[in-house]
Amino acid sequence: MRIMLRGILWFGFYLFLVVLPLVTALVFRPARNSPSLLVEIAVAAGFVGFALMALEFALISRVKGAAGAFGEDSLQLFHNLMGVVALGFILAHPLLLFVHGYPLGCWLNPWAACANQTTATAALALYAVLLLVVTSLWRKKLRLKYETWQIIHGVLALVAVLGALVHFFTIGRYTTTNALRIVWVVYSTVFVYLIVWNRLLKPIVHWRRPWQVVENRVERGDSRTLVIKPVGHVGFDFEPGQFAWIKMGRTPFTIGQHPISISSAADVPPGGEVAFTIKNLGDWSGQRVPAVQPGETMWLDGPHGVFSSDRKQGMGYVLIGGGVGITPLYSMAQTIAARGDVRPVYLFYGSRYWDDVTFREELEALQERMNLHVIHVLSAPHEGWTGEVGYVSQEVLSRHLPAQYKRFVYLICGPDPLMDAMEEALPALGVPPDHVHTERFNMA
């Protein structure tokens, strides 16, 4: 209940910040020489679009109060959606002005004879937003490396917001009153603070908390486990299922960071080692991670996430994972075993090949230490396989779940097809919605 209330408050605060510039502009705008209603609507669309773009920085700034209410993956998905919504409002701004009678060429072509500083900065902001959305939605189709995309994303977002601010101030009409100046100064200050905090202050803090690679272990399923330890500090406490952002390099100012689930058990003593398991899914995970050597320095920003068995209590747990989505579930299972928890745990694990089942032997060993039932589901089984075939489905679940399954807590992590299938299967089985908790690991 407390988390739900916190989520409602954060969402309400977000909406307030989105509409604040619009309300202030309408209430405190100069009364004389008021433009037409269509122009006012166009300006309103511009204000809402700008506010959404500026607040996009807040959504990905890892504010733990907001993340605790919604979860990092949910915030990331909302961030992606709001980026498209912001683009819609921003596109509506020049189109409505064109309908009113403003020459569209002056707005879209910074080199046109009729263009000026006002229209040039507007065009700059518009094109930056367009490129930002296109490179984000079609990053993989454009074959952009994740690190390259991160740089492009940050630069385009900065250009878009700064271009919009200059555009507003050069127009002048909506920045002439004290109330309007205060609103824009506050937004500009928050915007600059978020950039300074994420790009300068946070790395400085992390510089005093380095981590060192102890082991780079090969796992089944084309995966690697990096075991690291804190150097000169006690590390951090984390809950099973949480993740951290990882940077590699001599300093924490290195470009490029990756959200990776913690695969080791929680309750680590001060100064204890922490493990991250990474599947080969691209350039960084397939080339850089295998080349990591013991002794290398790493930088962690964490822990993050609300996907944890510690936060959901029931008479037992049903863990459902696919591919590398097993990582946070494996952390939960290890933690439950280490604590001597006797509650039953049912793990449904979808894989393609038997030889590629990550943590296969480790899960077999865990069944000897705890009340764990592992149900493997293979989509490409080998000859002689007698277990479940295909994908984790409603039918597979119904064959293995215990009689009191509706009172269990369900934790699901995996690729989108698995998540989508479980969103239909579990309600069909009568599992209460508040017993189901998910994390989509593909946040980038």
pLDDT of residue 16: 57
pLDDT of residue 2: 46
Q: Is residue 230 domain-shared with residue 180, that is, in the same domain?
A: no
Q: Is residue 193 domain-shared with residue 58, that is, in the same domain?
A: yes
CATH number where 287 lies: 2.40.30.10
Q: Is residue 287 domain-shared with residue 233, that is, in the same domain?
A: yes
Q: Is residue 53 domain-shared with residue 117, that is, in the same domain?
A: yes
Q: Is residue 226 domain-shared with residue 161, that is, in the same domain?
A: no
> Rounded to 10 degrees, what is the CA torsion of 322, 256, 280, 223?
-80
- Written as six digits, the tokens of 278 are 């990474």
pLDDT of residue 19: 63
pLDDT of residue 146: 78
CA atoms 357, 359, 361, 366: torsion sign: negative
- Written as six digits, the tokens of 12 are 């309400």
Q: Is residue 342 domain-shared with residue 382, that is, in the same domain?
A: yes
Contacts of 39 (CB under 8 A, 6+ apart): 96, 97, 100
Count of C-beta atoms within a 10 Å radius of residue 18: 21
pTM (predicted TM-score): 0.81
Range of the domain at 114: 2-206
pLDDT of residue 296: 95
Q: For 202-247, what is each residue's pLDDT tens digit? A: 889 899 999 999 999 999 999 999 999 999 999 999 999 999 999 9
- Written as six digits, the tokens of 288 are 């850089």
pLDDT of residue 3: 47
Contacts of 63 (CB under 8 A, 6+ apart): none
Which residues does the chain have with pLDDT short of 50?
Answer: 1-4, 6-7, 10, 443-444
d(CA 318, CA 348): 8
Q: Is residue 137 domain-shared with residue 232, that is, in the same domain?
A: no
> Rounded to 10 degrees, what is the CA torsion of 419, 422, 424, 427?
-130
Contact 322, 418 (CB under 8 A): yes
SS3 of 13, please? helix
116 CB-contact burial (10 Å; exposed 0-12 / middle 13-18 / buried 19+): exposed
Q: For 368-425, what is each residue's pLDDT tens digit? A: 999 999 999 999 999 999 999 999 999 999 999 999 999 999 999 998 899 999 999 9
pLDDT of residue 365: 95
* Strand 223-230 relative to strand 211-219, pairing: antiparallel
Q: How many domains does the chain have?
A: 3
Count of C-beta atoms within a 10 Å radius of residue 120: 20
